[in-house]
DNA sequence: TTTTGAAATAGACTTTAGTCTATAAAAAGT
DNA sequence: ACTTTTTATAGACTAAAGTCTATTTCAAAA
């Protein structure tokens, strides 16, 4: 790490102050009910400082999300005793959902999805190197080796499809007004992908 | 239809003028590059008139989308000669994608998805009575009757899952910067859902 | 026909994210 | 030590969606 000058240290403090204040306000009042002006005045900073450190109001909350990706550090360990790939992926998905719900809550998740759709914004969901992808693909490959899953599939493509259908489920949970039981829906969807719709011709 | 007074007719004309102008501007310059002020001045109306007739800038474009749902009127006829449910659904999905791409284009589709995520907005995608759902479920049921598909599934639930995974694919096509071949991805995803990942134990 | 009421519209105003410019103060160069 | 450059910040300004109020004008009641 490079030696920071006094100035840079102060700047980092300002950034941190803004970040902490903002996240606290978000969780108190909800993302949409917090204005940048409010963040700035509460944290004793200025617009200039804010936009010097963050490119947008949305980006500030990406910081939180980065931190959340730490979730995946532990998860691999926890999945070790599960025997089938299907079960592993179902468990991975369910735990992830719970974690996100708890850490971010509904409204911030929705915000994340909205902003993923706005062009140019740093896009977290679309980062193919996300731990999520790495883990899913790993599990799939193991399943193929063990004979559980059809080795004809390209594990990379399937990884993308699975995560995509998970995004679809999240998306639906936001757009349907009837509250959706996310756990149930995710599991149902995954089981379907593993078993298929067709009659098994045994 | 009720007899319209002179006034109401004029109001309808104003609404129509705004609508036509707006849609034309949208397709010329893109939704995000058209302001309400511009729509209003171009169409010779006023903000008051605009918001008297539409609740938001987004809503004006929902009008277009309603019209687009006419697509489904013809599609059933076209799918008649296809023999399997799997093929029918793949074809339905592909044609729908083509139609949407042609009629709306990428940017408006993205706008639709963004706005579906904003609370309160009239939400088109989440209308369970959409022709899309009706048609998919119909095809699934036929497939179950014919013995092609496992009758144990609840066709209603599967309909939702399939459409949801389609939304996930669309969503991904918006968030990934690498251009995605939507047709290929949709087809791949659907085939997966039909066949399943597991080795078929025949 | 006159009056009253309601509905359509005009356009000023508000809100809020984001930009731009000026300034101050620290770092780097001499 | 003094000058120059860089950089963090302050805060005025812009852009654009949406709100609110006033006004007009038509329709219905008297």
> Mean pLDDT, to the nearest integer, of A99-105?
88
pLDDT band (50, 70, 90) for residue B2: low
Q: Does B158 touch chain A (CB under 8 A)?
A: yes
Task: Give me the pLDDT at residue A68, please.
Answer: 80
Nucleotide in closest CA–C1' contact with A46: D10
Task: Give me the pLDDT at residue B1, please.
Answer: 45
What's the DSSP call for residue A118? S
pLDDT band (50, 70, 90) for residue B16: very high
> Mean pLDDT, to the nearest integer, of A57-84?
87
> Mean pLDDT, to the nearest integer, of B12-29?
95
CB contact under 8 A, B171 and A171: yes
**Above pLDDT 70, what percent of chain A?**
97
Query: Which fold does the domain B65-195 belong to in CATH?
Result: Tetracycline Repressor; domain 2 (1.10.357)
CA of B41 to C1' of C10 (A): 12
pLDDT over 70 at A201, yes or no? no
User: Is B153:A96 a contact under the CB 8 Å cutoff?
Assistant: no
Top residue of A161, A177, A181, A182 to mutate, by most chain B CBs within 10 Å, is: A161
**Taking the C1' atom of D28, which residue's CA lies nearest?**
B5
How many Cα atoms occupy the beta-carbon half-sphere of A70 within 13 Å? 6
**Same CATH topology for A6-54 and A65-195?**
no
Residue with structure tokens 């349907």? A176
The per-residue pLDDT for range B184-200, each reduced to its tens digit, is 999 999 999 999 988 77
Query: Which fold does the domain A6-54 belong to in CATH?
Result: Arc Repressor Mutant, subunit A (1.10.10)
Which residue in chain B is spatially nearest to A191 when comparing CA positions?
Answer: B196
Mean pLDDT over all residues of chain A? 91
pLDDT band (50, 70, 90) for residue A202: very low
Show the beta-strand stretches assigned E in chain B. Answer: none
B110 contact residues in A (CB cutoff 8 A) = 117, 119
Task: Give me the pLDDT at residue A49, please.
Answer: 98
How many Cα atoms occupy the beta-carbon half-sphere of A42 within 13 Å? 16
Q: How far apart are alpha carbons A178 and A180 in whole angstroms? A: 6
Top residue of B150, B164, B180, B199 to mutate, by most chain A CBs within 10 Å, is: B164
* Extents of the domains making up chain B: 6-54, 65-195
CB contact under 8 A, A197 and B150: yes
Please, which residues bridge with residue B149 across strands? Answer: A198
User: Is B31:B108 a contact under the CB 8 Å cutoff?
Assistant: yes
């Amino acid at each position: 790490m490079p030696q920071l000058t006094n100035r840079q240290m102060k700047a980092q403090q300002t950034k941190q102050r803004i970040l902490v204040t903002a996240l606290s306000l978000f969780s108190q009042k909800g993302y949409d009910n917090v204005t940048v002006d409010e963040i700035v005045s509460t944290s004793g900073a200025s617009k200039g400082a804010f936009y010097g450190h963050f490119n947008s109001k949305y980006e500030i909350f990406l910081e939180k999300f980065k931190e959340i990706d730490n979730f995946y550090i532990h998860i691999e360990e926890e999945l070790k005793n599960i025997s089938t790939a299907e079960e592993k992926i179902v468990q991975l998905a369910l735990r992830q959902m719970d974690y996100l719900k708890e850490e971010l809550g509904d409204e911030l998740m929705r915000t994340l999805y909205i902003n993923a759709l706005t062009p140019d914004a740093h896009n977290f969901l679309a980062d193919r190197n996300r731990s999520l992808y790495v883990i899913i693909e790993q599990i799939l490959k193991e399943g193929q080796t063990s004979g559980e899953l059809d080795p004809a599939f390209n594990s990379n493509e399937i990884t993308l499809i699975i995560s995509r259908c998970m995004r679809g489920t999240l998306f639906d949970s936001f757009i349907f007004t009837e509250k959706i039981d996310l756990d149930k829906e995710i599991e149902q969807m995954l089981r379907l992908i593993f078993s298929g719709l067709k009659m098994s011709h045994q």
